[in-house]
Chain A
Amino acid sequence: DQQVKQNSPSLSVQEGRISILNCDYTNSMFDYFLWYKKYPAEGPTFLISISSIKDKNEDGRFTVFLNKSAKHLSLHIVPSQPGDSAVYFCAASDGGATNKLIFGTGTLLAVQP
């Protein structure tokens, strides 16, 4: 039973345009959400997070939106750059003391020059 779902395995966008990556979750106990970026042969790198008490968090070109009623979060990248081409994972935590995360299956983003 997949508690965190990324239904788009891949996404292709033009350089300079907006990239929107989506993530859905089923567990209403999740209260902290994260996005990671992963290049081939490297470990995932933390990108941005959001607590359930917020509906938006912004860091430079990256913005995460959280819709708790729909159990949906999205990552917006504006403007997209070729260096953003990577696999993006969303992850969720129920706020437990051990900071355990449940990951989605990832979306491969390709930014075309």
Chain B
Amino acid sequence: QQQVKQSPQSLIVQKGGISIINCAYENTAFDYFPWYQQFPGKGPALLIAIRPDVSEKKEGRFTISFNKSAKQFSLHIMDSQPGDSATYFCAATFSGTYKYIFGTGTRLKVLA
């Protein structure tokens, strides 16, 4: 029940295309969902985050869509660029804890 399931494991997208990464959870107590971006040789860095009281959050080309009833959330990268090539992790946490539960990551490659 503490798991966050992430898919796909890897993704190849043409430049200018839309990249979509999906995550699902079981624990309805989760109330904060950050996405982290990790470039090779670097630590993960916060990309964007959402609370379950909103269905969508957009920051530039990055959008989180949240479906509370389905217990799913996804990251959309519009107009994907080669510089977006990285590993993306979704995560979840809930009130009363500091612990993030991370998905297994998606390795994105954007072809030039």
Q: Do A and B come from one complex?
A: no
Which residues from chain B sit less than 8 Å from chain A, CB to CB? none
